[in-house]
Structure 1
């Protein structure tokens, strides 16, 4: 039975955790609070200076302007599409790594999954811009089948974001499948269940919290991304790049727009927490 913590150990633990917690509170939560507070300010239409006058005009404009609603729904749809694509790709890849590949191959495969994370974000995004271009690799590969590449636009944004965040989905699913007891699969086979029944009744319920845990990353990162849409999005507008463009023009409005992804992420975290997904992070 572990010994009860002594007052001295509690004091050392408090001294160890206090600086990072203080930094988190001041640098992250403090700046977030200031950002949301500035959403209630206004911008002088003549001088473009921020006027510290309390009002809700920015949120009223955000809720009543159709273009903002359209951009918010488009951003939400793209984040959801990226999450679904990554889940569909991660499940078979993680299953092969954890249950099919031999033990000596698991580590090289895991390194292969992590390798794209070592490259710079902009390098990968611009590489995809070249591949998705008019004379890119994607179009050349589809040409023999009478097809053409997606070009720049919403589809390209989903493809690139799904590629960028795929490792964040694979890793928790791989960890969940590696922890899945072999006896559960054997028991399913002994009871006469086929491969698809075992997948549906044993494997998927076991990895569901891990998929939801991975979706926290893919969904939130896609929701706040603004560089990818600038590189391969063409004329597509998402919340991220609209906020970036408004920062220098109308800071309070940019702050009000920033509240939208914050609210969406908080709601999503609350939803997946009920499913036990945060325990898999």
Structure 2
């Protein structure tokens, strides 16, 4: 596994879109006001090693091509020894989705990083299930995942299986926009990443999951209408205008750095 192959302290750089930036996991103390699974993974590295460093160049709304063309070169300048490259989710929602072209870009990014001797890992796409607003995208994501595994295998890239994180089909792991995970969801992904990378002595608490609330059909209909008004309509508007939620956003941590782990309110011991 990647961590066992590292001879020096970890210099971890996260690349990608909103998933890697941490959108949905609100944290006013952090840059951009979010934390996310990448921050949580980096916190574990820093707790285990006083010399571990972390940068996060991910920006919400980014398509894979800008991630490859902008973030990968910037990452190489930081000289990391561990990189997570995760993207394509925003591409999969576009009408002109070309999975083969997407895999060619992924291969380009993996090659650039691996040619420098950097250990790389990625995440598969998440299974949206057979119901819900994003269920129509399920077949695209399944094909995307199969091809991504092949490209990753060819380049010696480790794959974290986000597709089979079935516990995340519970709505309580998601933020109000239903597109991004909340703190509990990001914690689940961080643990899966660390387990896949063979990280030892994981001190991360178990995710704090909100209690389930039973709702009547009328309440659900009202909630769905409110969600569509507050999140779906603005999202469609951005697509029509050709703008992105990340147009005015800068990377959270553009340079390798360290910070203290945030406490988990009400978290259970691991």
TM-score if structure 1 supplies the norm length? 0.25
Higher helix share: 1
Greater per-residue strand proportion: 2
- Structure number with bigger Rg: 1
TM-score, length-scaled by structure 2: 0.26
